[in-house]
Every structure is written in structure tokens, then in C-alpha cells.
Copies of this chain bind each other. A is one copy, B any other.
Amino acid sequence: MALREETEQETGAPPPGRRPTTRLGVGMVGYAFMGAAHSQGWRTAGHVFDLPADPVLAAICGRDRTAVEAAAARHGWAAAETDWRALIARDDVHLVDICTPGESHAEIAVAALEAGKHVLCEKPLANSVAEAEAMAAAAERAAARGQVAIVGFNYRKVPALTYARGLVADGRLGALRHIRATYLQDWLVDPEAPLTWRLKRERAGSGALGDLGAHIVDLAQYLAGEPLVGVSAVSETFVRERPLPAGPAGTADRTARGAVTVDDAALFTGRLASGALASFEASRMAAGRKNALRLEINGELGSLAFDLERLNELSFHDHTEPAVTAGFRRILVTEPGHPYLEAWWPPGHGLGYEHTFVHQARDVVRTIAEGLPPEPSFADGLQVQRVLAAVEESAARNSVHTPVPFQEVP
């Protein structure tokens, strides 16, 4: 204990209790990495934030009964299902949380929305623009019935990035000139890393582009508050064959090999609607970079810089300062006045990756209970999908500048 808060002995004031009597039953499909992260979010949000409804971990769904029951026990879900249609059909499920690979997003999400459920869907929204369009259209129809559809771009919920958006929206950067964004990992540097579903186009849609690039495209548009209107891209698959996975998850059978059918890396430049220039790089082949989502935005009045490997920090340069005292300042985004921080720890006591899912859970609950506009919406997810498609088209067409269609969901 190294801090400043008071006990009740001091003040006699009771801490705020737990008020909601409404319950929001959550049904989650998938229970791998994202399932674990979402579970932690659902379990924790109500203990930290004052929520207008109580999220309840009603049921979890996976195809293998033994495995899904073990996951339910591990992650704290009250029931287990092996058919996502059965999950959707449950009366105690009000929200369907989709944590499966991209190939099944559209089918599950549309069915859930049609069934009158709210939906939280992992990113990227879908494996194609057509699927994403169908999903956005379903979300639009459902919205008219009071349902919420949100896409899980969880990095918008990093307090430093939420706060960064506020600084841009408040005009602290002035007219934007540049965005540069990289998302670098290194788990495919080893040519003997196994050929998992993430390396197959039919399952994952794309490689680094959809997995990592989708995040930085979304963040660029979110932070700038405007869409990309065109891109020019290159991509590469450096290691074209990898050993098939064998036995327990993640280990490789070194004798049998299969083709990698997605990109290892994708680079693209782009233009924002305002005329600002952007550059993007997504790669799983950057040795030593573990989760290096780095962003920099330069405007006429200031600049911002961020690195996900140091997610409690935001660098801000105020160009209106006198030159002799100006410089990028390292803001520890852990003050009570920063987004989400009122509910957490004292200044300097940092948060981690998983807190983005707690914040996402809070925001989903509030959006549903208070009738707020969904954010990020399926329309936002569709817009990202259009950018990814334009990137793939440009890469296939000799990098030629490729417009990103931008239109309202009908």
C-alpha cells in the first residue's frame, strides 16, 4: 500500500455501492485468446465502474463439449453450449459476444441481430467487404429496434488513445498533416513457426493486414475523425511454406508443410479526407518488436505519439509553446481526469492490455442501457474493411493509388 486514499475510518463516507438491478446476460462464442480477454472484461467491469446494468456471464459456446465446459469453468461462465444458434436462442442471453475467427463473424452476427440480440463482434468485422456490408446493414436495421452492434476495436479503449482523440477533437493539433502508424510483431520471424489458421486466407481473410493493419487503420480514422480516401500498397509473404501444426496448439510437425496463403507484411500510404498524408505498416516479421503499435500524428499546432508497448503514456508536443521550452512531453495517462481512470488506481499505477476489454465491457453496457450511439459501430468496421480491401487491390495492381469508397450505410 503506497498511496493516498482514505479508509472509511477516516471519513465515515461509504464507498459507492452497487446499484444496478438490471442484468445484461452475455453469451460468448469462442474461448481462445480473445475469449479469455473478453471474459476478464465482463467479470471485472461491474466491480470497478458504476454500471447501469450488471453484466452476467450467462453462457459460452464452442464446438467441443469437453473443451467448452472446461473453458466455462475456467473463465467463470454459468453455462456452456456447443452450437452458436442455441446460444443465440437462450433467453438469458441479451448480448452475443463473437470471438471466433473472421470467417464466421458475418453469419453469427447477422443471426444474432435478427434474433433481437445486441452484438459485440471482434475485429476485423469480417473477411470481406460484402460480409461487412451485410453486417452493417443488419446493424442498421437492428438499431431501429433499439439493438446495439459494436465492433471490438479495443485499442480505442486504451486511455491514452481515448484521450488522444479528445485532444485532436479539441483542436489541440490544428490541421492535420501526417499520421504514421506501424504495428509490428515478430512471431513469424522463425521460419519454423507453425502454419496456424491465422496463416490461411480462407480462415483469417488476410494476414498481418487484417490482424494488425485493421487496428491501425481504425485508430488512424478514429483519432483523425475522418476517413482514408485512398491508399497505395505493397505486401509480401516472406516465408511461403511452414510446417503444419501437430498435437497441442502451437507446436509444429516439422515433416509436413503447407502453403502460407496470407501476407506476412503489408505497407501502405494513404490520404485522409482533409488531405493529410498517412503511412501504415503491419508486419509479423519485425524481430524484437513484440506488440509495437506505434502512432504519430503531426498537426499545424501540435503532435502526438504513442507506443502500445508503453500504453500508459502519451507523448504530446504543443507547438504553440515557445521553442525554447517546447518538446514532446510524456504524459502518464493515469490521472483521475483521464478517460476511464476515475475508477482505477492512483496516478502512476498503470493499467495493462486487458483493461481495454474492461473498458469495452463498460462502454457496451452503457451504450445499451443508456441508448448511446454505438462506438465503434459496424459502419466503422465496414469502413475499415473497405480500406483493407483497397489495400489488397492496390497491392495486386502494382501499388496504384486506389480510392476507398466512402458512403453511408443505406
The answer to whether the Cβ of A215 comes within 8 Å of any Cβ in the partner chain is: yes
Question: A291 contacts B66, CB within 8 Å?
Answer: no
The answer to whether the Cβ of A316 comes within 8 Å of any Cβ in the partner chain is: yes
What is the size category of the interface that chain A forms with chain B?
Answer: 35 or more
* A193-211, CB < 8 A from B: 196-198, 211
Known pairs A2-B183, A326-B288, A329-B327; A70 contacts B351 (CB<8 A): no
Of A127-135, A317-325, A377-385, the one contacting chain B is: A317-325
Report B-chain residues with C-beta under 8 Å of the C-beta of A66: 14
Chain A 13-44 interface mask (CB, 8 Å, partner B; 1/0) = 11111100000000000111110010110011
Our pick among B277, B309, B330 for the contact of A350 (Cβ within 8 Å) is B309
Chain A 280-291 interface mask (CB, 8 Å, partner B; 1/0) = 010101111111
Report B-chain residues with C-beta under 8 Å of the C-beta of A250: 4-6
* Smallest CB separation, A26 vs chain B (Å): 15
The answer to whether the Cβ of A119 comes within 8 Å of any Cβ in the partner chain is: no
* Smallest CB separation, A70 vs chain B (Å): 3
Our pick among B47, B323, B332 for the contact of A337 (Cβ within 8 Å) is B323
Question: A300 contacts B287, CB within 8 Å?
Answer: yes
Question: A177 contacts B347, CB within 8 Å?
Answer: no
* A270-317, CB < 8 A from B: 271, 275, 277, 279, 281, 283, 285-292, 296, 298-303, 308-312, 316-317
Question: A6 contacts B74, CB within 8 Å?
Answer: no
Known pairs A4-B187, A197-B10; A346 contacts B33 (CB<8 A): yes
Our pick among B31, B269, B310 for the contact of A267 (Cβ within 8 Å) is B269
The answer to whether the Cβ of A234 comes within 8 Å of any Cβ in the partner chain is: yes
Q: Tell me, in angstroms, the Cα distance from A336 to B324 when the chains sit together.
A: 8
* Smallest CB separation, A164 vs chain B (Å): 12
Known pairs A232-B232, A275-B238, A348-B309; A17 contacts B326 (CB<8 A): no
Of A137-145, A361-369, A396-404, the one contacting chain B is: A396-404
Complex A-B: 10 CB contacts under 8 Å: A1-B122, A2-B185, A9-B62, A14-B67, A17-B73, A43-B43, A163-B324, A177-B265, A232-B234, A309-B312
Q: Which A residues contact B (CB, under 8 angstroms)? A: 1-18, 30-34, 37, 39-40, 43-44, 47-48, 62-64, 66-71, 73-76, 99-101, 122-123, 152, 163, 177-178, 180, 182-187, 189, 191, 196-198, 211-212, 215, 232-234, 236, 238, 245, 247-250, 265, 267-269, 271, 275, 277, 279, 281, 283, 285-292, 296, 298-303, 308-312, 316-319, 322-332, 334-338, 345-355, 394, 398-401
